[in-house]
Structure 1
Amino acid sequence: MQATTSVPRTADLFHQGLERQTGSALLRFGAARHRPAGRISWSGDGAVAWLDRPRGHVWSVGTPAATAGLILRAAHQLPDDVREFTAPRGTDALIGRHLAVTDVVEWVFRWTLEEPPVHPAEQRVVGLGEASHGELLAFLEQHSPAHSTGPGSSDVSLWAGIRDTDGRLVACGALSSLRDSGAPLMASVATDAAQRGQGLGAALTSWLTRYAVRRHGFCTLWQLADNSPADRLYTRLGYRNEDPCVAARLSTCPAGV
């Protein structure tokens, strides 16, 4: 039987002013931009958390100790709904003292409000419509099998790419959106393995960033924490690096069981 809980007021997410603090970009660009009256959220001293119920995902910002407490509370109150979480780095170890935590991945949530310097190869970037979806899928499966989103996804507003002189796709990327707010999210940027080192990824990323900033005022992205080339590229483009996160799945079984 599903546990029941009263639905906290959405305003509870914002009474501490965390969305204005460093390290809280997920709240600022995510939940703070879209405030449905029925959203389930939790608030504690130094942290807030909110539930993406269809996905079973709890998002949280704040100190690791405080966010761990809120995620444990969410899992206790809604054991049939809470299956995974994203929180500040270190939260997973604290939760792991009480519940089984698996599939741990460390990320950095990055964002910028500024257009980057113009890359010389940006002029080669073109938009890619529905007719290119099959080509995009084949390209991603070959050159970026772990891509985060694919052609035809309802979250994607734009696909862009670079072609060589023979018309063959050599780089691609998308503007997707954060699930809880619709904020622009750069995703699935990939370069032909044989063409890497020529600045194609940098040109495409710069173009997509500029497109998002001009239309929305900002752009966001997720970066794997151990991806040093991506870290250097996004830093050059002006993306802030203040939000180290961890994502993981969890079980309501006690740790060690």
Structure 2
Amino acid sequence: MQATTLVPRTADLFDQGLERQAGSALLRFGAARHRPTGRISWSGDGAAAWLDEARGHVWSVGSPTAAAGLVLRAAHQLPDIVREFTAPRGTDALVGRHLAVTDVVEWVFRWTLEEPPVHPAEERVVELDGADHEELLAFLTRHSPAHSTGPGSADVGLWAGIRGADGPLVACGALSSLRDSGAPLMASVATDADRRGQGLGAALTSWLTRHAVRRHGFCTLWQLADNSPAERLYTRLGYRNEDPCVAARIATP
């Protein structure tokens, strides 16, 4: 594998038909088919990659070897911009032969085209609005301090929650969006630590999935690879498990 410094070029991510192959759902759902103005991307040799320039993040799909080649190309072409990447599992080790890689986290990108079975507690789910943001932030800070998305995020189109009999939130979650394509992404689902195991998270997740599928035809989410309870829940809800990924940072010299 060689990383050759070339002038950055914008490639057609869809010219290889990768989006139709198993393991490439991140391309199918995560990259806009009609190329956004200014998107920098690369493709070839059974892989495709595109840059979220604001974050310095390269997204890639395909075989680990080919994906690693594109990540390396991006890092060498744009060394002052590219700081991190998400790619097929195993790409981190290949990139690590050439660049210092840190903060490796294994994920699964999951998706469904189907509405899940109705959960009995879905009737308790309510939509939340700006007036609830302060409460949402306090709830997430207490019960899910590593949440990926917070109230007020520009990427979030909907917050939903379940309230206890006395009024305060006991569960919450959001429908955010993947930045390049705008595809619905379920995020920051959290349950009161004292009420876990009561099906609140399952009800909220089912409701959010149904909401997204009815409006967009599908829903996506990120699941940590070692989160067994979440894996069982998402499998019950019909989410496909075909896209193991790894995320990592490229250490600056």
1:217 corresponds in structure 2 to 217
1:8 corresponds in structure 2 to 10
Deviation (angstroms), 1:15: 1.2
Per the normalisation by structure 2, the TM-score is: 0.96
Structural mapping, 1:184-223, within 5 Å: 184-223=184-223
* Partner Cα distance (1:142, 1:128) in 2: 18
User: Would the aligned equivalents of 2:10 and 2:40 in 1 still touch at CA under 8 Å?
Assistant: yes
1:50 corresponds in structure 2 to 50
1:71 corresponds in structure 2 to 71
User: Would the aligned equivalents of 1:88 and 1:246 in 2 still touch at CA under 8 Å?
Assistant: yes
Deviation (angstroms), 1:7: 2.1
Q: What is the identity, as a one-letter code, of the residue corresponding to 1:240?
A: R
Percent identical among aligned pairs is 84
Q: What is the identity, as a one-letter code, of the residue corresponding to 1:7?
A: R
* Partner Cα distance (2:221, 2:25) in 1: 11
Deviation (angstroms), 1:138: 0.4
Deviation (angstroms), 1:248: 0.5
* Partner Cα distance (2:168, 2:251) in 1: 45
Deviation (angstroms), 1:180: 1.1
User: Would the aligned equivalents of 2:8 and 2:77 in 1 still touch at CA under 8 Å?
Assistant: no
User: Would the aligned equivalents of 1:7 and 1:38 in 2 still touch at CA under 8 Å?
Assistant: no
1:122 corresponds in structure 2 to 122
Deviation (angstroms), 1:34: 4.4
Residue by residue over 1:3-57, the C-alpha shift from the partner in whole angstroms, topping out at 9 and shown as x without a partner, is 8724233x2x111100111100110001144412432111121111111111111
Residue by residue over 1:162-221, the C-alpha shift from the partner in whole angstroms, topping out at 9 and shown as x without a partner, is 011111210000000001111100000000010000000000000000000000100000
1:238 corresponds in structure 2 to 238
Name segments (4+ residues, structure 1) moved above 4 Å: none
Residue by residue over 1:124-179, the C-alpha shift from the partner in whole angstroms, topping out at 9 and shown as x without a partner, is 00001111100000000000000000001111000000011111210000000001
Structure 1 unaligned spans of 5+:
none
Q: What is the identity, as a one-letter code, of the residue corresponding to 2:102?
A: T
User: Would the aligned equivalents of 2:110 and 2:243 in 1 still touch at CA under 8 Å?
Assistant: yes
1:94 corresponds in structure 2 to 94
1:179 corresponds in structure 2 to 179
Q: What is the identity, as a one-letter code, of the residue corresponding to 2:165?
A: T
SS in 2 for 1:159: strand
* Partner Cα distance (1:16, 1:196) in 2: 45
